[in-house]
Amino acid sequence: MFDTVLIAGLGLMGGSMAKTIKARTHSRVLGWNRTRRVAEQALADGAIDAIATEALFGEADLLIIGLYPQATVDWLLEHMSQLKKGCVIVDMVGVKQFMVDHLDAAAQQAGVHFVGGHPMAGREFSGLDFSLPTLFDGASMIFVPTQSSTERVLDQLEAYFMSLGFGQTVRCTPAQHDRMIAFTSQLAHVVSSAYIKSPEADKHNGYSAGSYKDLTRVAKLNETMWSELFLCNAEPLAHEIDEIITHLDEYRRAIRAGDRETLTALLRDGRERKERLG
E strand or H helix at 50: strand 50-51
Going by the DSSP 8-state scheme, the letter that residue 78 receives in this structure is H
Q: Cβ neighbours of residue 204 under 8 Å, at least 6 residues apart?
A: 212
Q: Which CATH number fits domain 177-277: 1.10.3660.10, 2.60.40.10, 3.30.1360.10, 3.40.50.300?
A: 1.10.3660.10
pLDDT tens, residue order, the chain (278 aa): 899 999 999 999 999 999 999 999 999 999 999 999 999 999 999 999 999 999 999 999 999 999 999 999 999 999 999 999 999 999 999 999 999 999 999 999 999 999 999 999 988 788 999 999 999 999 999 999 999 999 999 999 999 999 999 999 999 999 999 999 999 999 999 999 999 999 999 989 888 899 999 999 999 999 999 999 999 999 999 999 999 999 999 999 999 999 999 999 999 999 999 999 98
Per-residue pLDDT at 123: 80
Query: Could you tell me if 20 and 119 are in contact, meaning their C-beta atoms sit under 8 angstroms apart?
Result: no
Question: In this predicted structure, what is the pLDDT of residue 125?
Answer: 80
Strands of the 88-91 sheet, one edge to the other = 50-51, 28-32, 4-8, 62-65, 88-91, 113-119, 140-144, 168-171
| pLDDT score recorded for residue 53 | 93
Model-level pTM? 0.93
Residue spans of the domains in the chain: they are 4-172, 177-277
From the DSSP assignment, how many helices (H) and strands (E) are in the chain?
A: 11, 8
pLDDT reported for residue 100: 98
Which helix (H) or strand (E) covers residue 162, if one does? helix 151-163
Q: Residue 45: what pLDDT?
A: 95
Q: What is the pLDDT of residue 244?
A: 98
Q: Give pLDDT, residue 1.
A: 82
Cβ of 55: how many Cβ atoms within 10 Å? 8
Residues 6+ apart with CB under 8 A from 178: 95, 96, 97, 233, 236
Q: What is the CATH number of domain 4-172?
A: 3.40.50.720
Residues 6+ apart with CB under 8 A from 148: 104, 107, 108, 112, 113, 114
